[in-house]
Amino acid sequence: MKNKTADKRTTLFKTLLTSPELEFLCEAHNGISARIAEEAGFRALWAGGLCMSAQYGVRDSNEASWTQMLEMLEFMADAVSIPILMDGDTGYGNFNNVRRLVGKLEQRSVAALCIEDKLYPKSNSFIDGNKQELADVDEFCSRIKAGKDAQQDDDFCIVTRTEAFIAGWGLDEALRRAEAYHAAGADAILIHSAQNHPGEILAFKKEWGDRLPVVIVPTTYYATPTEVFRDAGVSLVIWANHLLRAGIVSMRECAQTIARDQNLQSVEDRIAPVQEIFRLQGVSELQAAEEHYLPQREMLARVIVLAASRGDGLGTLTDERPKTMVEVQGKPLLGHIVSAYNSAGIKEIAVVRGYKAEAVDLPGLSYVENPDYADTGELYSLQCALRADADNDHDLFISFGDVIFRRYILDLLADHDEAFVIVVDTDWKESVNRGRPADYVSCSEPHSRRDFNSRVLLTAAGEDLEEAEIHGEWMGVMRIRADAVPMLRNTVDELLTRERQAMVHHLLAALTAAGEPVRVVYTTGHWLDVDSLDDVISAGSFA
Ligand code: SPV
Ligand code: MG
């Protein structure tokens, strides 16, 4: 993402180019590959013509227009904060096209331009390179001069690339051209070679010395140890096409597998989760912005968060604090839960504490103690909170202290006016596969994409429903309409006279058995029950 306070990207690029260290540019060809390369630690990117054209599905022969390249570059520059060197091929014409291109790149925060001494339309250096015609030296120098005169920012760099070796000319021609480009104002020389060893570029560098920084693209001489380039005093190495090539292999393998199997099971664990796409897209920033800018629908409601238990599955993480205070992305689970309610306008939140109660201390909440947390269950904690609360005027939400969820889950609950509403995840098989206890439910009808508006009611709830009966997993959040709170109190009290360790699924089952309609809203995903260390890790990307 753009960073307003960082150095200008032109300056960053120029520093990399002129520093005595060997630096590396990674190829990127669209916004997401740019992000991935930046996250991998690259300090600058190469927007290569080969891969940029390939991602459009066309040839590296100026089939994509320069404005189509610019359009993609704009997305790339927006996606990262590091500088981008654009492979501008020949400059798309003469001096006039180059100076216009420089202006457009500066407007889009692209830090530098590379142009090569061939004729428009060019073709890739590795396709019949020795048949390629080079530009007249003076004419090419006019492109360099016009580009340098056009730049507004003193640190914008123009890297000039000679194809003398590619086109079958020798070292003398390469040096003659490089010298002329230097005199015309170039900031660096890219010396390209299609050999499978670095002979040409090393010979060039030896004669050229340090007159201008030297940039290389070791695609064909990939086996050369990087130390050789470093010892020779090369400034920049461009890894010019490797992300696209990696993508081709993985995409093809995935496509062939899905085509063959006609299902997704064998690929699912080997590809990035959808959450990872969201993360790379920066979805969390948009969610924060929505909370900041959009008028929030205020819900007149209050919340009881059941957070008395330790959470044994989290090992030493809960030595000093209960599960609800385990941090995910720098914030306790309880903090995430509170944020979800706050963003729906709900501020009145009571938390039932038990294990290490003193560690549960977020501001702005009210607290109720369950001193018997060690040998009581969820309903006992709920009863502690209901006894401390005389409010019968507002709807009540009940949440588990270890379940985080997206805010829209609350909107789903509020959109239905039945007395009791629960959200049920249709993706319950994962919990069964992981063999962990979960609040499974049976409903009056299964989830149906065709009939998603029908009024589905709960018919049974429990941890040990037969798989054939299960329609989903209750995700630990429910809404009770204000006028049904007295009935809730009575049912809870009655269940506890029989079983001190009663759980909320017993309450759901009791309401259903008493003929009280419990409305089910189906959804898929977008919540997380943090029961194990693995869950804490997934919660990082979820939050
Ligand atoms: C590119 O990556 O588009 C280049 C380098 O220009 S090469 O493909 O080797 O010509
Ligand atoms: Mg190119």
Q: Are 51 and 29 in contact (CB under 8 A)?
A: yes
CB count within 10 Å of CB 514 equals 10
Residue 540 has pLDDT above 50, yes or no: yes
Compute the distance between CA of residue 452 and CA of residue 408 in angstroms, rounded to an integer.
17
The protein residue with its alpha carbon nearest to ligand 1, atom 4, reads: 48
Helix (H) or strand (E) holding 88: none
Q: Please indicate whether residue 241, judged by its CB atom, sits closer than 6 Å to ligand 1.
A: yes
pLDDT band at 2 (very low <50, low <70, confident <90, very high): very low
**Shortest-distance ligand to the CA of residue 29:** 1
pLDDT band at 534 (very low <50, low <70, confident <90, very high): confident
Q: How far is the CA of 149 from the centre of ligand 1 (A)?
A: 26
Q: Please indicate whether residue 69, judged by its CB atom, sits closer than 6 Å to ligand 1.
A: no
Q: What would the pLDDT profile of 267-276 be if each residue is shown by its tens digit?
A: 998 999 898 9
Compute the distance between CA of residue 326 and CA of residue 359 in angstroms, rounded to an integer.
10
Q: Which of 7, 60, 210, 417 is catalytic?
A: 60
Q: What would the pLDDT profile of 279-299 be if each residue is shown by its tens digit?
A: 999 998 998 898 789 876 667
The residues spanned by each domain of the chain are: 9-240, 250-280, 281-542
Atom of ligand 1 at shortest range from CA of 241? 2
Which ranges constitute the DSSP H helices of 399-503? 408-414, 429-433, 485-498
Probe residue for ligand 1, chosen from 46, 58, 60 as the CB with the greatest number of ligand atoms within 8 Å = 60
* Torsion of Cα atoms, 520 then 526 then 530 then 531, to 10°: 60
What CATH architecture applies to the domain 281-542? Alpha-Beta Complex (3.90)
Q: What would the pLDDT profile of 299-339 be if each residue is shown by its tens digit?
A: 779 999 999 988 777 778 888 899 999 988 889 999 999 99
pLDDT score, position 450: 65
pLDDT score, position 297: 65
Assign domain 9-240 to a CATH class.
alpha beta
pLDDT score, position 6: 54
Compute the distance between CA of residue 236 and CA of residue 239 in angstroms, rounded to an integer.
10
Q: Are strands 84-87 and 214-216 parallel, antiparallel or unpaired?
A: unpaired
Q: Please indicate whether residue 305, judged by its CB atom, sits closer than 6 Å to ligand 1.
A: no
In sign, the C-alpha dihedral spanning 239, 112, 132, 206 is negative
Probe residue for ligand 1, chosen from 191, 241, 243, 245 as the CB with the greatest number of ligand atoms within 8 Å = 241
pLDDT score, position 448: 77
Q: Can the peptide bond before residue 198 be classed as cis, meaning omega within 30 degrees of 0?
A: no
Atom of ligand 1 at shortest range from CA of 161? 6
Compute the distance between CA of residue 379 and CA of residue 501 in angstroms, rounded to an integer.
7
415 is catalytic: no
Q: What would the pLDDT profile of 461-486 be if each residue is shown by its tens digit?
A: 988 888 889 999 999 999 999 999 99
The protein residue with its alpha carbon nearest to ligand 1, atom 1, reads: 48
Q: How far is the CA of 220 from the centre of ligand 1 (A)?
A: 11
| Phi and psi, residue 481, nearest 5° | -65, 145
Considering only the C-alpha atoms of the chain, give the largest distance between any 2 of them, rounded to a whole number of Å: 97
Compute the distance between CA of residue 166 and CA of residue 169 in angstroms, rounded to an integer.
7
Compute the distance between CA of residue 422 and CA of residue 518 in angstroms, rounded to an integer.
7
Tokens at 370, concatenated: 């369950």
pLDDT score, position 220: 98
Compute the distance between CA of residue 66 and CA of residue 373 in angstroms, rounded to an integer.
68
Number of H-type helices and E-type strands within the chain: 20, 21
Q: How far is the CA of 297 from the centre of ligand 2 (A)?
A: 52
Report the pLDDT averaged over residues 56-82: 98
Q: Please indicate whether residue 125, judged by its CB atom, sits closer than 6 Å to ligand 1.
A: yes
pLDDT score, position 298: 67
Q: Are 440 and 428 in contact (CB under 8 A)?
A: yes
Probe residue for ligand 1, chosen from 25, 33, 45, 50 as the CB with the greatest number of ligand atoms within 8 Å = 50
Q: Please indicate whether residue 480, judged by its CB atom, sits closer than 6 Å to ligand 1.
A: no
Q: How far is CA 57 from CA 52, 128, 198, 242, 423, in A?
A: 9, 21, 31, 17, 44
Look up residue 406 and give its amino acid. Answer: R
Q: How confident is the prediction for the chain on average, in pLDDT?
A: 92
Q: Please indicate whether residue 62, judged by its CB atom, sits closer than 6 Å to ligand 1.
A: no
Q: Please indicate whether residue 491, judged by its CB atom, sits closer than 6 Å to ligand 1.
A: no
In the chain, % of residues over pLDDT 70: 96
